[in-house]
Structures are given as C-alpha cells and as structure tokens.
Chains A and B, each alone.
Chain A
Amino acid sequence: MSPATGPVVWAGSKPFPRAARTQLAKSEQRATLNRVTHQIRRKRAVVVGERDDWEELRRAGEQIKTRVLRHLDIYLEQAERSLVAAGVTVHWATDADHANRIVHALVKETGETEIVKIKSMVTAEIGLNEFLAQRGITAVETDLAELIVQLADDLPSHIVVPAIHRNRREIREIFAEHLPGAPDTLTDEPSELARQARRHLRERFLRAKVAVSGANFVVADTGTLCIVESEGNGRMCLTLPQRLISVVGIEKVIPTFADLEVFLQLLPRSSTGERMNPYTSLWTGVTPGDGPQDLHVVFLDNGRTDALADPVGRQALRCIRCSACLNSCPVYEKTGGHAYGSVYPGPIGAILTPQLRGMDDPVDRALPFASSLCGACYEVCPVRINIPQVLTHLRAKAVEHDRVHGRHHLERLVFRAVAKAFDDDDLYATGLGLGLPVAHRVAGSDGIHWLPLAGAGWTKSRDLPRPPQRSFRDWWSDQGLDAAGGGSIS
C-alpha cells in the first residue's frame, strides 16, 4: 500500500473555499460553464431517457465493478497472464514516481525526444508530462481540449472536456499565440480552429515513434485494452507509432469481453450525451505488420489500495471517468474544476483525491465539504457511486484527523455543546423559552442583516428572518393540546 505521490493535487493549490472564491470572480468563465454544463445535462437526459433498462444497466455496471474490486488480485493476475500471452510487456508501479520512471526508461530506450499522447487522466494524475519534460522529452497532447490546455500552459478543469472553462474567443487567442504555424487571419470559427489543430497534430502523428495512452478498460480474460474517444486522434496514436505504452490504474480491469457491452452503453450516454462515441479502439497484443509492434502496460496503484481498504470509500474506485457528476453538480457549475485543486475535479474528485492522498494536506481535508449534498451526482452516476454517502464518511474522517492533530477546537466544542443541549430536555426547552423572546426583540421587524464570525459568510448575501416570540413547543403547551395523544377519531 502506498499513498499517492506527485501532483494529483497541483502545487500551490488552496483549500476549496478560498480557491472557489477566486474562481467565482471570473464572470466569463462562469457564463461558459453555466452554458456548457446545462447543454451536456440536457443531452444526457435525452439519451438516458430513451433507455427503459437504464436502471438495470447502472446496476449491472455497479455489480461488475464491485465484483472486480472484491477480487482485484485475481483479476489483475489474470489480466497480466492474458496480456503477456498476447505479447504485451507488463509493468507494475506502486506510485507516481515509480510509474514515471518506468515510462521514461521505455521512451529513453528508443532515443526519441518527442512522443504523442492520448488524453488520459492517469498520466495527468502522476504528472508524466512534467516528469518527461524535465528529462528532455516533449509529450504532445493530441486531444483537442487537452492540446488547448497544454498550449496555454493552463490546468485542465474537467475530466472529459479539460478546456471546458475556455470559450472559442479564448481558444482563438491561445492558438494565435502558441500554435506553431497558426495564420494571422485565424478566426474563432470552430471548424477553422479544428483545421489548424489537425494540421499541427498530423505532422506529429506522422513522425511519432512512441505513444503513451491510458485505458478505459482492460479485459482480464482476453488481455484487450479499450479506449473510448470522440476525435479519432487517439486512434492515430494507437496505430501509427512503433511503441505504445499504456498506463492503467489497477481498478480499470473488467472480467470478460462481454462486460464491455454494459460499459460501452453506460459511458457515452453519461459522458457526452451520445448514444455511442465516435471512436472505440480495442487492441489485444501485437498484430504482426499492423500497428505498434512493441506494447507495454504499466499498472498503477498510487493510493488505490488505500482506498480499497475503506469499506465505504472504496466505491469511488468503480468510477469510469464519465464526468456526469461534474456536469450535474451545482457547485462545479459555479466554481469550475480549478477550485478543486486536483486533476480530479467535481464530486468524484472530492471523494477520490483525499482517498488517494490521505488527509494530511488541508486541500484534501476541505474537499469532502465542497458539496451541498444535493444528491444530483449520485442520481446520474452510471455505476451508482453514492457520492453523498462517501462525502459524509470522509467528512467524519477529516474531523477525526483534526481532533487527533489538535485543530478546530472551537468548532468541535460548539458541535458538542449543541448536541448536549439537544439531548437535554430542560436545557433545550428552557433555551428556546428564554432565548426566542430576546432574539425576537434584538432582530427587529426587518430581520437580521449582519452576523459576526462564522455567520458573516451567510449575511454577506442573505438575511435571516426575525425569530418568532415563541417556539412551536411553547405554543403547543399554551394551547393545552395533548402531548401524548395523536389517535384518529375516524
């Protein structure tokens, strides 16, 4: 077991409340996020609504993943045997640094200084591009949105659409400034921008000798890897180079080829709101004379076995990275992905990041609180991850971490005192009886416009109503109503 190392969380990230404040001030980004998240939500709702068996599909996805996690050791060993039999070299990496060193050695062996990459969350998680760059190797991102982020030296803010926070005007500016050979006459027409990206990427595809990918699924009984994508640029990476290195989280394995049936229905509908994604690539080992002749798979732990050890938290490992929870989340919609400080943003990021890394960093301890617990994420999750349940579970872990390390004494005291008062007949009733008339008088007819300390965040944008003169229980007693009755006369 090894906690995640390396940049799952970006250096310099601030805890969510502060980071969110910075992001909330970006009005153009707010408008873009609002438009795009609502668009994807609508598309998803349409294609999900077409399926009578959607709930059964979700349950099937949940059950397959749960079975894999329960017997992960067996399925991983089976996957390794199948991969080796198909001619693939299998490597095992305990953490980010380990995986980076394996990939670097494999690239260095070829003498290449430029590689092409398929968009992959796991290589972002381990900070592979930066690791290679420090050693003189340029990793070219070939997913259009990932390319935009890379050219702008920006950070991704979404799992499927990393440049979701950019509108076309900004993308034109990024291309004009950073894309080699972009014409002076470049407009912000999407087709024009795509043409320029294609021209740039084609040159790189044709000269690439090494590609790096992730994988959406690894089939244990056949050794098949699967990549699901929209643009076809991934297909280029999977077919043109000589050496293909796939970095795969250990939770990506599924038992049989037939299980793909479930996930290839769940994923595109949940992710981009499409019935089927444009490109699904499957490859099983080396095919002589066709495609890469030298295949490597690097299985990565990086904190996953720690998450697996938690009976409540482990369900996060079912995630198939569809982003439906991001697109449906009212918090994500307002703050965008950068506020989460992690390559994994949104509700899934809020439960995955602290589980991969542990709770020692304030960024990780703040993430489980970055949710109003509205439940929209759980409702859309194609593998039924009960994200609100994991959030409250991790909140308890964060509070426990604070207690052990002697932080937030005041908050703990307040919650204990309130619980004590709620659990004391006299204190609770007397408190309401004496407190309300005072609060009623102090507040005045206009309500409360200002509160100190923790309440200041509330009253910055909201009033509180004038408290009543009497509690419900006092009104009830005054009415002479029976406390213990409640029977029906009918």
Chain B
Amino acid sequence: MRVALFITCVNDAMFPDTGKATLAILRRLGQDVAFPMAQSCCGQPHFNTGYQTEALPLVRRFVRAFDGYDIVVSPSASCVSMVHENFAQLASLSGDASLQSDVAALVPRVLELSQLLVDVMGVDDVGAYFPYTVTYHPACHGLRLLRLGDRYPSLLAATEGITLLDLPDAQECCGFGGTFSVKNADTSSAMVQSKVDNVLATGAQVMVTTDNSCLLNIAGALVRRTRAIRTMHVAEILATTRTGGESWRDAAPALARSSA
C-alpha cells in the first residue's frame, strides 16, 4: 500500500509539527508515507470565497501530485472535505473529461488520518501515552461532511493516562470559516468567544481538534484569556508515547519493523 501524505498549505507553512506527528503515528504502525513535493493547496480558500475559476488549477495540481498512490492521507478534515465535496464539481466546470475521470478515480482514495487508521488499517489503539486532561472539539467538516464520528474520541480514549472531558456544545462551529473570519470578523469573534467559554468550562489542561485552521482561531482567542490551556492537533497526542514523549517534533522516527 503506497500512502502519500497531503500535508495541506496551512500545516506546511504554520504547523509542520502536525505533519511530523502524522508521520510518526503511521511509521510506528509500520506504514511508510511519501511526501510528493508538487502538492500545495486544495483550493478551498478560493472556492469558498467565490473564486472557483482560480481554484481549478489547484485541482489539476492535486491530481498530478498524488497520481499513482493507493491512498492520500491528511491531518485536515476540512481539506479532505474540500476534495470530496467540491473537486468533482470543479472538474465538471472545466469541461475537461480526462480531469473529471482522474478526479472521480482519486477522490475516494483521499482519506482523513483517522479514516486511514480506523477503517483501512483497522487500528483501535495507536499506542499513545498522554497523562493529561483533554477536551476534544469535533471540527465542523469532519463532523458533518466526513462524518468522522467517534473515530478520534475512541483513539483518544485508548491513549494511556489520558482523561477525556466533554466539551459543552461541542458540535457548534468555532466561527473560523476561512475568509468568513475576516469578512465577518465581528460575528466570527462572537462565535469563538462562546467556544472559548466552553473550553474553559471543561477545566481541561489540553484542547484538541482535527483541523489546525480551526485551532488557529480557537487558540488565537483562547490565548488572550489564558495561557494555562495548551492547544494541539489531535494527531500530536496520538504521536506521543511513554518512551519517546514528544521527540517526534525533532527528528523523523524510524519506520517500525512491524509484522502487523
């Protein structure tokens, strides 16, 4: 099984550690990952802001970059949703029949990290260790578009030492919404304040979610209220182990000679 990592532009530029964590989890489970350098952005910012024509070359690029891999995995539910929800529409907009068939063939192979772990690799415990109280925010596109359900909550629950605390109104949007947070900054701010109130109400030491773009928003507002709560991508907890701690942040872990 040839697996390619789709890191996403936000993670590539702002949260490289999430990519390292994804690599660490998969290598620990015996699955190597490639990183095609031709990848960049899925075009979601363009598509969602009304610039569909401008998003089209990025669809072509995505198809070219990940051609030939059995699975494309990403630690971003939102970018994976973009591929699943809108690539077919954009391809048909292009009128290019070969792009349409390429997209149709590729889209089902693009998975969010927990889908690869749980559905394809059949993992229910990734061997993580994280002795803290944690609250999990199911970000909207993973929740409602990909229907990730309890994949992450159950992987977190299997983590040694962890205490999971329920987030009140967990299913409510944090108010990020890409350019929504800029075009409608006041409304977005009001929304993120409610999310922060709910995170604080849990008393958790750590707050995690599936998307660093949403985390950019939640953590950005949270840090103005307190520096006592740590925010992380959920993959960063799953990458952390009792023996290695968070050493995956410094160097790529060796590929486990797993017999799984």
Spell out A's residues near B (CB within 8 Å).
16-17, 20-21, 24, 30, 38, 330-331, 334-335, 368-376, 378-379, 389, 392, 395-400, 412, 415-416, 418-419, 422-423, 425, 428-429, 432, 436, 447, 454-458, 460-465, 467-468, 470-473, 475-476, 479, 481-490
Contacts and interface: CB of A to CB of B under 8 A. Distances in A.
A489 B51 contact: no
B252 interface: yes
Contacts of B63: none
6 contacts: A334-B191, A373-B178, A389-B85, A472-B12, A473-B7, A486-B33
A136 B89 CA distance: 53
Interface residues of B, number: 87
Given A330-B173, A331-B187, A369-B183, A485 B32 contact: yes
Nearest 6 pairs of A and B residues by beta carbon? A457-B185, A486-B34, A372-B177, A462-B220, A399-B50, A395-B50
B133 to A, nearest CB: 22
B1 interface: yes
**Which of A400, A416, A422, A425 has the most C-beta atoms of chain B within 10 angstroms of its own C-beta?**
A422
Interface stretch (B35-43, B107-115, B233-241): B35-43
B36 A484 contact: yes
Interface of B: 1-5, 7, 9, 11-17, 19-20, 30-38, 40-41, 43, 45-52, 54-55, 57-58, 61, 69, 85-86, 140-141, 143-145, 169, 171-173, 175-194, 216-217, 219-221, 223-224, 251-252, 255, 257-260
Given A331-B187, A472-B20, A486 B3 contact: yes
A263 B87 CA distance: 34
B145 A330 contact: no
A460 B189 contact: yes
Contact of A374 (B51, B173, B182): B173
Contacts of B86: 392
A interface SS class: helix
A283 to B, nearest CB: 40
A465 B14 contact: yes
A392 B178 CA distance: 12
A415 B37 contact: no
B2 A372 contact: no
A397 B50 CA distance: 7
A465 B182 contact: no
Given A419-B54, A476-B35, A369 B40 contact: no
Given A330-B191, A428-B40, A488 B3 contact: yes
Contact of A488 (B30, B145, B180, B216): B30
A419 B51 contact: yes
**Which of A38, A395, A419 has the most C-beta atoms of chain B within 10 angstroms of its own C-beta?**
A419
Nearest to B86: A392
Nearest to B249: A475
A489 B140 CA distance: 35
Contacts of B46: 415, 418-419
B182 A458 contact: yes
Contacts of A470: 16
Nearest to A391: B48
**Which of B2, B4, B12, B15 has the most C-beta atoms of chain A within 10 angstroms of its own C-beta?**
B12
Contacts of A487: 1-2, 32
Contact of B216 (A375, A418, A465, A490): A465
Contact of A335 (B169, B185, B187): B187
A369 B180 contact: yes
A384 to B, nearest CB: 13
A84 to B, nearest CB: 43
